[in-house]
């Protein structure tokens, strides 16, 4: 099933529909993408540079309509990835920031703790994960007074695991306990970040799509504060025929947080031979009502999928048990790779038709859950929703980290950066505030350039 999966290498304006336009206005920061990452970066930019102008554009009419509202809502501990990867570092720091943000802003969340459960053959895998967690060093910006230990874990026997989860399969002989894993109400988080942006004077333009990006070569000669990126946008839901209605704005700094569309944005400024492909992997969820899940208070993850793959690539953490904020049991996500048709022009054309949940998937989910919760019944599974993971590598590839890449409008002098956040799959929700901290404090504040006036050119 996974053979021949094709990635998508298009750019926003592959079809050549939009012609170059001179910018009508200039701003300091444009962020493309109103998911949790784009919102977090916009918020951090406004905090760090209160005098600069910041605009976020989002193609939907609300924040977080794509990956940010179609995930497990799990605040991850940071167990799974190589110790020095961005995924680990930003997950650890992001978790710390997210718990503190949720507490401060009254965002519903629960520190439920999680069990990774394994059979006899997975004992060693769990022990290794435990050893790795203990050896983790504090990531950049870590607040030691808030959490002296970076990632506490404990190994439990099968008996102890069954005390936590009474109906766990008898074949489960050990488990890894991660007390700091939790869940968060992602809609409340998105709303709160949006409010922070507005309160700080930022602008959010919904129903606004980036359709073309150019380097503004001529800007250096104008008194507009140096080079930048010309971002063309179209507002409204109707497709239009030319670029008569497109607005062109010059951005001093461009943040590409477009999620599933992030490579299409980046490819705009690269020659076709260097286009970066993106692959889409769908993950579906089912709600569950029925026997087999009595008295479960924690998240339960199988060790299977991650451990059995040689050189574990972590395409998915396995169909796990989680809860919504109301305490209802939910299983998911599974993994199903989508292949881009030859004719696809936009990222949405590939994945949008796959968002509705389906019955068949709910059934195969039953089969994988049976391996650790043998009492669950197929009729208890109700298809719920599906989300799409933006993958930078095809099925079977080794571990792929988040990629944060900088291109400059004036490459030679390193001026006017475009920062692209690529392949922000799990644990991107957990990592969002730390990604923003890294982009703004480590990458942009250090080169703190003079503000440019927001003005009509």
Ligand X SMILES: *[C@@H]1O[C@H](CO)[C@@H](O)[C@H](O)[C@H]1NC(C)=O
Ligand Y SMILES: Cc1cc2nc3c(=O)[nH]c(=O)nc-3n(C[C@H](O)[C@H](O)[C@H](O)COP(=O)(O)OP(=O)(O)OC[C@H]3O[C@@H](n4cnc5c(N)ncnc54)[C@H](O)[C@@H]3O)c2cc1C
Interface with ligand Y (CB under 6 A): 12, 32-38, 57-60, 64-68, 70-74, 76, 209-210, 257-261, 265, 283, 333, 387-389, 424-430
By the rule CB under 6 A, 146 interacts with ligand X = yes
By the rule CB under 6 A, 448 interacts with ligand X = no
Rounded to a whole number of angstroms, the minimum distance from the CB of residue 173 to ligand Y is 26
Closest CA to 332 of 290, 291, 361: 361
Region from 139-147, 221-229, 379-387, 431-439 binding ligand X, contact rule CB under 6 A: 139-147
Q: Which does 65 bind (CB under 5 to 8 A by kind): ligand Y, ligand X, none?
A: ligand Y
Which is closer to ligand X, CB of 15 or CB of 146?
Answer: 146
Which is closer to ligand X, CB of 103 or CB of 367?
Answer: 103
Which is closer to ligand Y, CB of 31 or CB of 169?
Answer: 31
By the rule CB under 6 A, 145 interacts with ligand X = yes
By the rule CB under 6 A, 143 interacts with ligand X = yes
Q: Which does 146 bind (CB under 5 to 8 A by kind): ligand X, ligand Y, none?
A: ligand X
Measured at the CA of 45, the angle between CA 43 and CA 51, to 5 degrees, comes to 110
Contact 390, 425 (CB under 8 A): yes
Residue nearest ligand X, CB atom distance: 146
By the rule CB under 6 A, 104 interacts with ligand X = no
Size of interface with ligand X, in residues (CB under 6 A): 3
Rounded to a whole number of angstroms, the minimum distance from the CB of residue 433 to ligand X is 11
Which is closer to ligand Y, CB of 5 or CB of 155?
Answer: 5
Region from 1-9, 80-88, 142-150, 375-383 binding ligand X, contact rule CB under 6 A: 142-150
Rounded to a whole number of angstroms, the minimum distance from the CB of residue 146 to ligand X is 3
């Amino acid at each position: 099933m996974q053979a021949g999966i094709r990635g998508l290498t298009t750019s926003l304006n592959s079809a050549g529909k939009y012609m170059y336009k001179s910018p009508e206005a200039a701003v300091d920061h444009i962020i493309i993408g109103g998911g949790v990452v784009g919102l977090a970066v916009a918020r951090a930019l406004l905090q760090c540079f209160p005098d600069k102008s910041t605009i976020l554009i989002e193609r939907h009419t609300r924040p977080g309509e794509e990956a940010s509202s179609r995930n497990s809502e799990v605040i991850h501990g940071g167990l799974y990835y190589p110790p020095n990867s961005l995924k680990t570092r930003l997950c650890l720091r992001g978790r710390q920031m997210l718990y503190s943000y949720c507490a401060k802003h009254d965002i519903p969340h629960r520190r439920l703790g999680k069990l990774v459960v394994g059979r006899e053959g997975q004992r060693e895998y769990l022990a290794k994960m435990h050893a790795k967690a203990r050896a983790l060093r504090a990531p950049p910006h870590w607040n030691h007074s808030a959490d002296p230990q970076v990632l506490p874990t404990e190994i439990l026997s099968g008996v102890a695991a069954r005390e936590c989860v009474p109906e766990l399969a008898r074949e489960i002989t050990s488990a890894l306990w991660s007390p700091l894993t939790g869940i968060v109400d992602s809609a409340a988080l998105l709303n709160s970040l949006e409010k922070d942006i507005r309160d700080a004077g930022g602008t959010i333009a919904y129903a606004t799509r980036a359709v073309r990006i150019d380097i503004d070569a001529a800007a250096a000669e104008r008194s507009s504060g140096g080079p930048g990126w010309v971002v063309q946008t179209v507002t409204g839901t109707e497709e239009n025929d030319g670029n008569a209605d497109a607005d062109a704005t010059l951005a001093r700094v461009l943040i590409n947080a477009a999620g599933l569309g992030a490579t299409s944005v980046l490819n705009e400024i690269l020659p076709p031979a260097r286009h970066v492909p993106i692959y889409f992997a769908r993950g579906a969820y089912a709600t569950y009502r029925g026997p087999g899940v009595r008295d479960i208070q924690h998240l339960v993850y199988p060790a299977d999928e991650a451990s059995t793959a040689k050189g574990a690539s972590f395409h998915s953490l396995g169909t796990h048990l989680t809860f919504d904020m109301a305490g209802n049991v939910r299983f998911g996500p599974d993994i199903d790779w989508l292949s881009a048709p030859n004719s696809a022009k936009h990222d949405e054309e590939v994945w949008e038709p796959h968002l509705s949940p389906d019955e068949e998937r709910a059934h195969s989910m039953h089969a994988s859950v049976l391996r650790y919760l043998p009492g669950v019944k197929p009729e208890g599974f109700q298809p719920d929703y599906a989300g799409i993971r933006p993958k930078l590598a095809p099925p079977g590839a080794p571990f792929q980290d988040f990629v944060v890449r900088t291109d400059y409008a004036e490459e030679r002098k390193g001026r006017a950066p475009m920062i692209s956040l690529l392949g922000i799959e799990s644990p991107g929700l957990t990592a969002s505030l730390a990604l923003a901290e890294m982009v703004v404090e480590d990458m942009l504040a250090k080169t703190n350039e003079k503000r440019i006036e927001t003005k009509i050119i």
